[in-house]
Amino acid sequence: MLNRRLLRKVDLLLKKERGTVYKDPGGRLNICLCYPNTYHVGMSSLAFQGLYGMLNRRADVFCERAFLPDEEDIKEYERTSTPLFSLETKRPLNRFHLIAFSVSFENDYPNIVKMLQLARIPPLSRERTNKDPLLLLGGICATFNPEPLAEIFDLVFLGEAEGGIEPFLELCGRVAMKEKLLEKATRLRGLYVPSFYSVSYDKQGRIKERTALYEGTQDRIEVVRADTLDGTIRHTILTPETEFSDMVLVEAMRGCPWSCRFCLVGHIYRPVRHKPLEIVMKERGVHQRIGLVGPSLSDYRYIRETLQEGMETSITSVRASKRTLSLLGYLKGRRSISIAPETGSERLRRMINKRISEEEIIQVAEEAFKLGIESLRVYMMVGLPTEKVEDLDASVRLIKKIRGLSRRGTVVVSVSPFVPKPFTPFQWVGMQREEVLKQNLRYLKKTLSAEKGIRVFHEVVKYSLLQGLLCRGDRRLTDFLLRMNPGNWKKDLQATGVSEEFYLYRTRPFEEPLPWDFIDAGIRKETLWQEYMRAMEEAKDI
């Protein structure tokens, strides 16, 4: 029996939705698409929404959704022994053929374990039987380094769903036995079966050897990409219970032409693809409010035409450049605009390949205030490689200059600790230590918050460090994930014998095998190393 209180809450959410898909599950591949965070967060994800719609457009697939219950509901699930169930038909997750997790953030990894426990599905793949659903991992986290989750998932899809998930779905329709399905899946592009490989380590804890256990298993797995943005991944369900309320999200471009050295998006989503204007307009439909999504929308090929259409258009951020200056007039009447200088230091911007000058940043900010923007959000980082006190002072001066441009509006400074990511030139560097990050954040907040009209927010350092641990981790983090309490993760890490120093703070040599080296993301490791060496050279004071 399912708990009535939990059922009522789901029904209230469904009543507010427009676009929900209902099907007869009979004779179809039954998939539960899971997002390892709450409904509010998951339904704000265009990738999750797009995948739900894409799967349900197939006649042979029946796809429903499930999310991490909020804290109060988790207690109710546990108190009443109610198994985690899907939204649309209220079926327990353990009755589906396939459970697919779409994962965008490393700090959601513990939520995967929690959802499986609530669903009464053994979290470890080796503990599951043919009676349990097949577990598939997808999303950006799966693409750049799935290894911390390798012992949990049966299958991992590397890349963009519309580029290659169809052959796998067809295979699922033909092959019922799990072992046979996994064997055949390894022959498809982008499919990785973690249990078909073993990893050994040397005395220092570094990867010694990665071995394929079965003949015909690929040594390297290619990341699958969509050739064009044809609207396959698009907004499906409208609901007021999301970050963007009833706004339709439209992806304008994928990838970024600037390739900042710290940024994963600019490296793993190559080549840059622009969605044709007619498809953007088709996705917009009759809706008056759209949210345009892309990493550098100022560079979207049809940005001017899109903004000229007269609809209420919200954009994620603009690049502080001369090109943006010519577009700001179209954003008149918008309440907020975001720019991302990352740092006030010219030296550090040169080092991270952020090719914008202080003059351009000031010009864009000044024009935004002239247009009546109420809130100018400025994204900054601390903890970049080679960062000095002088660089922090430069960031303070830049923000004060921006504030001095106008008495109107608010400057909202959002500061994040730098986290080195796989497949970027900084994938080898160690993170700044916790005490240094906290000290630098306190300095920025104390110095800037004293200024009228400036508000400073920053990420919690311990969660940034957790992100750094998980994004570059390996299979030895499994026990940690199974027992982890996000609020006190360092204690759990020590209990499992995993070294925080080894994963977080040391700089790795080029010759050390990295956990994600088996992934072919279309960029050579040697090329990234050359960019890393160039960054260190450019970081030197002139």
pLDDT tens-digit profile of 341-397? 999 999 999 999 999 999 999 999 999 999 898 999 999 999 999 999 999 999 999
Name the residue among 523, 515, 521, 491 with its Cα closest to residue 149: 515
The predicted structure's pLDDT at residue 257: 92
The predicted structure's pLDDT at residue 123: 98
Q: How far apart are CA 192 and CA 209, in angstroms?
A: 18
Name, in order, each residue with C-beta under 8 angstroms of 382's C-beta and a sequence gap of 6 or more: 392, 415, 416, 417, 418, 432, 437, 440, 441, 444
Q: Alpha helices of 259-388 — where are they, by DSSP H?
A: 265-268, 277-284, 303-308, 322-325, 346-351, 358-370
Q: How far apart are CA 468 and CA 473, in angstroms?
A: 8
The predicted structure's pLDDT at residue 318: 86
**Where does the pLDDT of residue 415 fall: very low under 50, low under 70, confident under 90, or very high at 90 and above?**
very high
- Count the Cβ atoms, other than its own, within 10 Å of residue 451: 15
Name the residue among 43, 446, 482, 2 with its Cα closest to residue 240: 43
Q: Is the pLDDT of residue 447 over 80?
A: yes
DSSP secondary structure code for residue 128 in this structure: -
The count of C-alpha atoms lying within 13 angstroms of the C-alpha of 438, restricted to the half-sphere facing its C-beta, is: 8
DSSP secondary structure code for residue 457 in this structure: E
Name, in order, each residue with C-beta under 8 angstroms of 328's C-beta and a sequence gap of 6 or more: 318, 337, 364, 367, 368, 371
What strands lie across the sheet with 336-342, from one edge to the other? 336-342, 375-382, 410-417, 454-458
- Looking at the DSSP assignment, which residues form a beta bridge with residue 209? 200
Q: CB–CB of 50/236 below 8 Å?
A: yes
Which whole number is the average pLDDT over 269-278? 95
DSSP secondary structure code for residue 69 in this structure: P
- pTM, rounded to two decimals: 0.96
Map residue 339 onto helix, strand or coil. strand
The predicted structure's pLDDT at residue 228: 95
* Cis upstream peptide for 194 (omega within 30°): no
Pick the residue with more confidence: 190 or 331? 190
Q: Is the pLDDT of residue 542 over 60?
A: no
The count of C-alpha atoms lying within 13 angstroms of the C-alpha of 294, restricted to the half-sphere facing its C-beta, is: 29
Pick the residue with more confidence: 330 or 475? 475
Pick the residue with more confidence: 335 or 219? 219
- Count the Cβ atoms, other than its own, within 10 Å of residue 240: 9
Name, in order, each residue with C-beta under 8 angstroms of 136's C-beta and a sequence gap of 6 or more: 98, 99, 100, 101, 153, 154, 155, 156, 157
**Where does the pLDDT of residue 448 fall: very low under 50, low under 70, confident under 90, or very high at 90 and above?**
very high
- Looking at the DSSP assignment, which residues form a beta bridge with residue 18? 238
Which whole number is the average pLDDT over 241-253? 90
Q: How far apart are CA 157 and CA 224, in angstroms?
A: 9
The predicted structure's pLDDT at residue 315: 82
The predicted structure's pLDDT at residue 309: 67
Going 139 to 141 to 146 to 150, the CA torsion angle's sign is negative
Q: How far apart are CA 395 and CA 55, in angstroms?
A: 46
Q: Alpha helices of 39-108 — where are they, by DSSP H?
A: 39-42, 46-56, 71-80
- Count the Cβ atoms, other than its own, within 10 Å of residue 271: 10
Report the percent of the chain where pLDDT is more than 90.
86
Q: Is the pLDDT of residue 248 over 60?
A: yes
Map residue 179 onto helix, strand or coil. helix
In 3-state terms, the chain is what percent helix, strand and coil (to 5)?
40, 20, 40
Tokens (6 digits) for 384: 């970049």
State residue 11 phi and psi, 5-degree precision: -60, -40
- Looking at every residue in the chain, the average pLDDT score rounds to 94
The predicted structure's pLDDT at residue 335: 82
Cα end-to-end span (Å), the chain: 70
Q: 17-65: per-residue pLDDT in tens?
A: 999 999 999 999 999 999 999 999 999 999 999 999 999 999 999 999 9
Q: 501-539: per-residue pLDDT in tens?
A: 999 999 999 999 999 999 999 999 999 999 999 999 999
Q: How far apart are CA 285 and CA 174, in angstroms?
A: 37
State residue 458 phi and psi, 5-degree precision: -145, 155
Q: How far apart are CA 430 and CA 316, in angstroms?
A: 30
Q: How far apart are CA 511 and CA 501, in angstroms?
A: 19
Q: CB–CB of 440/398 below 8 Å?
A: no
Q: Which CATH architecture has domain 27-222?
A: 3-Layer(aba) Sandwich (3.40)
CA dihedral 416, 317, 138, 420 (to 10 degrees): -30
With left for phi above 0 and alpha for psi between -120 and 50, is residue 459 left, alpha or beta? Answer: beta
**β-pair type (312-315, 375-382):** unpaired
Q: How far apart are CA 14 and CA 18, in angstroms?
A: 8
Tokens (6 digits) for 366: 């000044």
Which whole number is the average pLDDT over 444-469? 95
The predicted structure's pLDDT at residue 314: 82
Q: Which CATH architecture has domain 315-472+514-538?
A: 2-Layer Sandwich (3.30)
Burial (0-12, 13-18, 19+ Cβ within 10 Å), 480:
buried
Q: How far apart are CA 303 and CA 293, in angstroms?
A: 11
**Can you give the C-alpha Rg of the chain in angstroms?**
24
Q: Is the pLDDT of residue 145 over 90?
A: yes
- Looking at the DSSP assignment, which residues form a beta bridge with residue 92? 85
**Where does the pLDDT of residue 420 fall: very low under 50, low under 70, confident under 90, or very high at 90 and above?**
very high
For the chain, the domains span 27-222, 315-472+514-538
Q: Is the pLDDT of residue 245 over 90?
A: no
